[in-house]
Structure 1
Amino acid sequence: MHNGHYLIIPTASDFSFKECLVYLNRSPQEVLHKAEGESIIKLLMVNKSLVLLKMRSTEKSLIVEFPFGKPGERECDLIPVYISEWFDLKRDMADFYKMAQGDSILKNLVSNHPGLRIVGIQDLFEALTWAVIGQQINLTFAYTLKRRFVENFGERLEYQGEDYWLYPHSEKIASLQVSDLRKLQFTTRKAEYVIGIAKAIVSREITKEELLQLDYHKMKSRLMKLRGVGVWTAEYVMLRCLLQPQAFPAADIGIHHALRKQLGLDRKPTTNYVEELSERWGDWRAYAAFHLWRSQY
């Protein structure tokens, strides 16, 4: 709904922006949005225009304000679509909550984090390269690399003395040399993977639209044809970008730590054990994974 200088996006009664904010603010090094109290400020590229938005929630809606003045009609039509996908707003969660009530692990997580939705990454290039950047390093260093990557190659907009950044475009990264990323402390292999993914996106060898036409298993194997994309990376991208409800990165360290805590184990569970355990969550495995991640913050 358009209203003066802002947009109103209706939300379901079982959606909590506050819960999603905790996840979004899990690193002080995050460079793609800024929290301001219970609002978030983010720079978007919409219909080839840069749009800075500030978003807060009321009981039944998200209020989106525009510090630089309201964008055009076309942009105003596209922004609610983006936000709806960002927070998976269209999904009916009733069956998940019903299932969680009878599940010994999810029952506590859901009552501790009511209204949590999957916080997505709409852009396929961003989702793939962020997953690759985070491979086999801790989250703190992953965010350090992401910040360097964005501040060296992304677009910037200044507002009230603060910089707001866009994730780098695939075209820009496709034209880099490995040495350009080595300077930021990327390993040679990671630099090759990121540039290779950029080239695959630019040449349209892989597209989000094409992936979304495939079934779960074909989607996964299509992603894994990209150099640097293994099982974990494919499942992470399917969960956060392609919003596949059954995606579950069973090898994820964060999920292992969370399950160890939830189950009171004396050591981290094995990936096979986690994979088998996740089968009980069926088509809600992605939501189980996201609640396990959230329990870590």
Structure 2
Amino acid sequence: MIARPASSSAIDIAAARRALAVNDPALARVEAVTPIFAWRLRPGGFEGLLRMIIEQQVSVASAAAIWRRVVDGLGEMTPERVMATDVETLRGFGLSGQKARYGHEIARAHLEGRIDQAHLARMNDAAATAALMAVKGVGRWTAETYLMFCEGRTDVFPGGDVALQEAMRWADGLELRPREKDAYARAEVWAPHRSVAAHLLWAWYGAVRRGEVRLEAAA
């Protein structure tokens, strides 16, 4: 069964937070001090995946500025338009050469039917992740965050995310951040609400970094 965006409502997020807190003492401490948050759902499809690629490894401000230039420069956000735009032109919008080439790869995958959004939506989480990762330039983190933010899937956990790993270190009172495989293993107990757990940890991490929440030592 595939989790759907209905669970992004405020009521369902609150219920998932309570369930996570009941089942995991570490998340109970996190949940108790983390303000209410909204589900970070955003447009999907070709545009959503391209934006995920563009936003990799740059600051939020830089990503927003580059995306605006891409949108303005292309005029039409379609696989056909991207394929018709050469790498140097895409670089002129602020993309690296590698990201420009990846943009061509995902555009080609859509045009060739290797990424079919309707079919992707019917796949389970593991199959959908694998289908996206089969496209050059789409790594596991990109595939998982796309499924979480653009499809609203509620049981996806991007274990390779450094901010999540650091929040997990704080929550569990660890000396070192968990490795990616350990983060995935740790998150298994949070099923079927792993996406909500990720949102909760991100929200807590941000609040701690901004000084809004005090980081207490794990009991």
State the TM-score bracket (shorter-chain normalisation).
Answer: 0.7 to 0.9
The reply on whether 1:279 has 2:192 as its aligned counterpart is: no
Q: 1:8 maps to which residue? A: none
Deviations 1:43-92 (A, max 9, x none): xxxxxxxxxxxxxxxxxxxxxxxxxxxxxxxxxxxxxxxxx959923973
Q: 2:40 maps to which residue? A: 119
Structure 1 unmatched ranges of 5 or more:
1-83, 156-167
- TM-score (structure 2 length as normaliser): 0.77
**Letter in structure 2 aligned against 1:172:** R
Structure-2 change in CA distance of 1:111 and 1:171 (3 Å): farther
85-94 or 251-260, which deviates more: 85-94
Shift of 1:139: 3.9
Of 167, 171, 180 in structure 1, the residue corresponding to residue 89 of structure 2 is 180
The reply on whether 1:227 has 2:136 as its aligned counterpart is: yes
**Letter in structure 2 aligned against 1:260:** R
Distance in 2, Cα, partners of 1:126 & 1:224: 17
Question: What is the number of residues matched between the two proteins?
Answer: 202
**Other structure's SS at 1:296 match:** helix
Structure 2 unmatched ranges of 5 or more:
207-219
Distance in 1, Cα, partners of 2:194 & 2:80: 34
Assess if the C-alpha contact under 8 Å between 1:255 and 1:293 holds in 2: yes
Distance in 1, Cα, partners of 2:165 & 2:113: 35
Distance in 1, Cα, partners of 2:92 & 2:48: 22
Shift of 1:277: 0.9
Distance in 1, Cα, partners of 2:173 & 2:62: 28
**Other structure's SS at 2:25 match:** coil
Distance in 2, Cα, partners of 1:154 & 1:119: 26
Distance in 2, Cα, partners of 1:274 & 1:185: 33
Structure ranking higher on relative contact order (CA contacts 8 Å, 6+ apart): 2
Distance in 1, Cα, partners of 2:120 & 2:28: 33
**Other structure's SS at 2:94 match:** coil
Fraction of identical pairs, as percent? 27
Q: 1:207 maps to which residue? A: 116
**Other structure's SS at 2:9 match:** coil
Structure-2 change in CA distance of 1:240 and 1:225 (3 Å): same
Structure-2 change in CA distance of 1:170 and 1:91 (3 Å): farther
Deviations 1:190-246 (A, max 9, x none): 101112212333454422211111122221111111111111111111111222222
Q: 2:216 maps to which residue? A: none
Deviations 1:154-197 (A, max 9, x none): 57xxxxxxxxxxxx344432321111111233222210111221
The reply on whether 1:89 has 2:9 as its aligned counterpart is: yes
Which has the greater radius of gyration? 1
Assess if the C-alpha contact under 8 Å between 1:196 and 1:227 holds in 2: yes
Of 24, 29, 34 in structure 2, the residue corresponding to residue 103 of structure 1 is 24
Assess if the C-alpha contact under 8 Å between 1:246 and 1:282 holds in 2: yes
**Letter in structure 2 aligned against 1:127:** G
Assess if the C-alpha contact under 8 Å between 1:87 and 1:117 holds in 2: no
Kindly indicate which of the two structures has a greater share of residues assigned to helix.
2
Kindly indicate which of the two structures has a greater share of residues assigned to strand.
1
Assess if the C-alpha contact under 8 Å between 1:154 and 1:169 holds in 2: no
Distance in 2, Cα, partners of 1:90 & 1:175: 42
Assess if the C-alpha contact under 8 Å between 1:100 and 1:106 holds in 2: yes
**Other structure's SS at 1:120 match:** coil
Q: 1:131 maps to which residue? A: 52
Distance in 2, Cα, partners of 1:141 & 1:260: 28
Q: CA RMSD in A?
A: 2.8
